Amino acid sequence: MFRHLGHTLIAIVSSTGVAIAAEHFPTRPVRMIIPFAPGGTTDLAGRVAGQHLSAYWKQTVVVDNRLGAGGNIAAELVAKATPDGYTLLFNTAAIFIAPSIYKRLPFDPIKDFIPVSKVGFSPAVVIVNPRVNANSISELVALAKAQPGKLNFGSAGTGVAAHLATELFKTMANVNIVHIPYKGGAPALTDLLGGQIQILFNALGTALPLAKSGKVKALAVTTAQRSPFAPNLPTVSESGVPRYEFSYWYALFAPAKTPISVVTQLNRDIVNVVALPATKAQLEFHGVTAASSSLSEFAAEVRGELRTWADVAKNAGIQPQ
């Protein structure tokens, strides 16, 4: 009886300790792993989120950029971290594209992570070289159909989000345009400006200044609705390819087995922080629209992302390496 009572008391004390820990989370610095280089949109959005979470929690949020393998090094690091909420992953759809690109991954994007909340999203912009005889998506589709296999599009590499976004466009528009992969976005953009390639799905923050200066033609944004940053620019869907939609989204993930009490608090705090006018303004400065999500909404969305990109990669004939 005493042994049973002792075990019961230990269980009560342990569960109470977890509840107290969750109630006061965080009690020490939180580490936010970002898989991409400093200065890019993902990094900037993550730092804005980290800055405001730090002020909200009155605890330091340490941003740790871990580059390599298309984001897989950072994802593996978080997947294997202690599941207590003190190591988080700030990532994009890259984590759900990875299974279609790599044969062997050191993590499972569904089983090894808990999707906590989105922080924001931004559209890509379909840009073309000024010499391309198309001033709209419908004209670009007509041109591609008249010259199958003659137009090229670039990307920062096989399997990156912009590559698969363009492959999705090809499928939905029923056009044959050829993919030219580069080792990064900068050389792809350089070749677009020089006329070596004709089409690029580019980040809004880079594309709009180039379009305003006349160096490229911006045809449309890829999101379902027009962007508040470019309200006069139509969407791909409304200008030739109905129901097409793609966006770069930015979100926080926790390791699997993180206590649900901690995950719930993380979600609640992120939702509150993203709603702050200061957070919205800073994200908008970097071309990102603030947007949060509930745990159930985001969980359903990421499962859909995994299926979508698997289908796109299969249709594009991409073989996992």
Per-residue pLDDT at 70? 79
User: Are the beta carbons of 256 and 88 closer than 8 angstroms?
Assistant: no
pLDDT tens readout for residues 239-298? 999 999 999 999 999 999 999 999 999 999 999 999 999 999 999 998 899 999 999 999
Convert 37-71 to b/e letters by CB count within 10 Å (16 or more is b): eeebbbbbbbbbbbbbbbeebebebebebbeeebb
Per-residue pLDDT at 37? 86
The one-character DSSP state at 31 is E
Determine if the peptide bond prior to 234 is cis (ω within 30°): no
Per-residue pLDDT at 206? 87
Per-residue pLDDT at 9? 39
User: Are the beta carbons of 265 and 25 closer than 8 angstroms?
Assistant: yes
Domains in the chain (CATH in brackets) are 2-121+247-315 (3.40.190.150), 124-239 (3.40.190.10)
* Averages of pLDDT over each 10 residues, the chain, 321 residues: 42 42 81 92 94 97 91 94 97 91 91 97 96 97 97 91 94 96 90 97 91 97 94 96 95 97 97 97 93 95 92 88 78
**How far apart (Å, rounded) are the C-alpha atoms in residues 7 and 39?**
52
Give the pairing type, strands 30-34 and 87-91. Answer: parallel
**How far apart (Å, rounded) are the C-alpha atoms in residues 276 and 12?**
38
Per-residue pLDDT at 21? 45
